[in-house]
Structure 1
Amino acid sequence: MGKKIKWGIMGAGSIAGKFATDFTLVTQGELYAVGSRNLETAQYFAVQYGIPKAYGSYTDLLNDAAVDVIYIATPHNFHFEQAMRCLQHNKNVLCEKPVTVNAFQLKQLMAEARKRKLFFMEAMWTPFLPAILKAQQWIAEGKIGEVQLIQANFGQVGNQDSKGRLLNPDLAGGALLDIGIYPLTIIEMFAQSELESLDARASFTETGVDESVVVQMHYKNGVKGQMASHIRSQLVNDAFIYGTKGYIQIPQFWMSKQAILKLNGLEPEVFSDSTVTMGYNFETEAVSNDLLAGSTENDIMPLERSLKMMRLMDTIRKQIALIYPFE
């Protein structure tokens, strides 16, 4: 049996649990260690997911020489500091989205990773999903003709604790960074052009973070994008890519198991992914293969793509006048 990549998980919360659950279908890696700020929490997580090593501090996790790569599964206001620590301990990094709070932070991490020749990637799992790849294939084949309009929404009623991750400005809370990044990613993926202009509008919570964000986007190739994100209202979380010959619908696009091709005058063609996991395994397998091949970036989620997204969200935040206390 060939070498497998040894994974460490930083953080033992709900997103880490989803990542660990989906690891059952990863063939080129193994869950080796988990680190938490509390040893009992790490030990419980390790037992739950069959992980050999449990550490009661992030420092102990970083000091384990056997760990090849660390998945950072903490709230995004901590990402910059934690990713930098990982890189400075010569650890490869897969960091949950959004990879940082702003582009300035990300550029520093990119420079550190490249200086040390380490793998670094934002854990934006949606582009790796088979349904998304199928939609890209249909468009590349010209199935819907020329893309004209992309619409994508993501809204759900989140935890309304004013001190919790979602509503607390000190934790970089709000709709845009938490879930708005998903529809923006879909629009950027399928527009396939440089952004010409955008108009962003927002409403705010009593704590000062964005409750909802609506963005109209205009690209240089003529494609239009429309997105909405909301943390106090359940939206229809589908993506639509409209072309001159028909359109593609991707239900629950950020975690989609299905893509539907609807051409003018024809019966719909439905692609379904029968994989039993949520879908985190696809990005994890890709990173494991990259590391085995000696790559420092992934072709689907290169760092420049993440930087472009952070700059886009910086622009939106400037328009809606959203600045976090620590910036």
Structure 2
Amino acid sequence: MTVRWGVIGTGGIARTFVGDCTAAGVVFTAVGSRTQESAESFAAEYGIARAHGSYADLVADDEVDAVYVATPHSRHAEDALLAIAAGKHVLVEKAFTITADEARAVVDAARRADVAVMEAMWTRFLPQMTMIRELVAEGRIGRPRLVEATHHQALPDDPTHRLNDPALGGGAILDLGVYPISFAIDVLGAPSAVAAAGTLSDQGVDTQMGIVMTHEGGTQSTVHFALDVRSPNTASIIGEDGRIDIDATWYTPTTWRLRDRDGVVVEEFDGREELAGYAHEVRAFEAMIESGDHEGGAMDPEETVVVMAAMDEARRQVGVRYAADSASSTAR
């Protein structure tokens, strides 16, 4: 089957995603924005036939089978639920929602509607990550004991920018921290304990945060992320018999090396020539739709809820509060 995609949102990530996936042959039939003008401009730029001046009109479009949600974090749950209610399959940009409670509401709604829903954690679907998972599963580094990963970027410091606005889910954790946190949970499983420390901006969002998570069997992960400094952004999976080192930028197509216990390189991979990286997650999602099996896979919806819960706890400890936190407390 050919899955016909609609896009909610016309910002930077939507442009990157659509441009990348169009080059790989993904079919986009419609785009929705808050204004007709913005939708038409986006549609013209990417050769999309149908432009809608509201998200409601986009999800009501009979020429759309699946929706990609590319709005700010603060709207993810609302927009995903809108699409699910219209019977559309939904791929939601990371971070999936603001809170774990919102994530649970979206996942449960998708189950009731019998549609697929998935977080657009594109890194998990890159060929290099598939290979790395296989190496770990085969025991090539022995029992994994530690995951280390960073994500630092020097991003706009304008207090009105969405990255710095708590009303829009600003801060480092939802934009940047989700990558290493999700990576650690992918490798080591759900954390049994989370310990976090960080620094807040004048607006009350985290500019940097460090987290140590404890996982099954006493294994640990250490992650650090910040939105006002740059670093190499590398990652490692350290096992009892060796380790896997992933080079900069670890969450994009890059190089990695498998080392034995003595640090000698025994295998390496260069994925820098990989094109259309976002298309891997789209093709995996389309396969879920076609098979009718909406669970499991490289980014299982239940694991997304686990990732969101870990971020909730880290934010609680550091003092990052969003309006959705109050809503979640009231719902409970």
Specify the SS of the correspondent of 1:216: strand
CA distance in 2, matches of 1:118, 1:174: 31
Residue 224 of structure 1: how far off its partner (Å): 1.4
- Select 1:250's aligned residue among 246, 256, 271: 246
1:260 equivalent in alignment to 2:257 = yes
Counterpart check, 1:85 vs 2:82: yes
Verify: 1:269 aligned to 2:271, yes or no.
Answer: no
Alignment partner of 1:83: what SS?
A: helix
SS at match of 1:212: strand
Alignment partner of 1:195 is 2:201: no
Aligned equivalent of 1:286: 284
- Identify which of 12, 15, 25 aligns with 1:14: 12
- Unpaired segments of 5 or more residues in structure 1? none
- CA–CA separation in structure 2 for the residues paired with 1:35 and 1:305: 29
Mean CA deviation greater in 149-158 or 275-284: 275-284
Give the stretch that moved more between structures: 61-70 or 271-280: 271-280
Residue 176 (structure 2) aligns with: 179
Aligned to 1:141: 138
Q: Does 1:216 align with 2:217?
A: no
In the alignment, is the contact (CA less than 8 A) between 1:121 and 1:298 conserved in 2?
A: no
Q: Is the 8 A contact 2:123 2:251 kept in 1?
A: yes
Deviates more, 1:207-216 or 1:133-142: 133-142
Rounded to whole Å, the distance in 1 between the matches of 2:135 and 2:87 is 40
Which stretch shows the higher mean deviation, 289-298 or 141-150? 289-298
How far apart, in 2, do the equivalents of 1:267 and 1:256 lie?
20
Q: What's 2:159 paired with?
A: 162
Letter in 1 for 2:6: G
Q: Which residue of 2 aligns with 1:312?
A: 310
Aligned counterpart in structure 1 of residue 233 of structure 2, from 226, 231, 237:
237
Cα distance change of structure 1 residues 39 and 217 upon mapping to structure 2, 3 Å threshold: same
Q: Output the amino acid matched with 1:11.
A: G
Q: Is the 8 A contact 1:132 1:259 kept in 2?
A: no
CA deviation profile, 1:222-265 (whole Å, cap 9, x unmatched)? 21110001011112211111112221111222213322212225
CA deviations over 1:6-25 (Å, ceiling 9, x no partner): 00011111111111122135
Question: Partner of 1:107 in structure 2?
Answer: 104
Q: Which amino acid aligns with 2:178?
A: I
SS of residue matched to 1:297:
coil
Tell me, in whole angstroms, the C-alpha distance in 2 between the residues paired with 1:92 and 1:23. 17
Long gaps (5+) in structure 2: 327-332
Cα distance between partner residues in 2 of 1:294 and 1:146? 34
Per the alignment, residue 323 of structure 1 pairs with 321
What is the aligned counterpart of 1:69 among 59, 66, 80?
Answer: 66
- Superposition deviation, residue 298 in structure 1: 4.7
Q: Counterparts of 2:296 and 2:61 in 1: how far apart (Å)? A: 25
Q: CA offsets per residue over residues 5-50 of structure 1, 9 Å max, x none?
A: 00001111111111112213545x4111111112222222222222
**Any idea what SS the aligned residue of 2:92 has?**
strand
Matched residue count: 323
Rounded Cα–Cα distance in structure 2 between residues aligned with 1:8 and 1:49: 12
TM-score, normalisation: structure 1: 0.94
**Two-structure CA RMSD over aligned residues (Å):** 1.7
Q: What are the Cα deviations for residues 53-99 of structure 1, in whole angstroms up to 9, with x where unaligned?
A: 12222122112112000000111111111111111111111110111
What is the letter of the counterpart of residue 178 of structure 1?
D
SS at match of 1:255: coil
Check conservation: 1:134, 1:271, Cα contact below 8 A.
Answer: no
Distance 1:241 1:111 in 2: 33
Deviation readout 1:102-130 (Å, 9 max, x if unpaired): 01111211221111111111111111111
Q: Which amino acid aligns with 2:76?
A: H
Match of 1:122 in 2: 119
Aligned equivalents of 2:49, 2:287: Cα separation in 1: 22
Paired amino acid for 1:234: R
1:284 offset after TM fit, Å? 0.4
Residue 26 of structure 1 contacts residue 285 of structure 1 at CA under 8 Å; is this kept in 2? no
Cα drift, residue 274 of structure 1? 5.5
Q: Could you tell me whether the CA contact under 8 Å between 1:255 and 1:278 is conserved in 2?
A: no
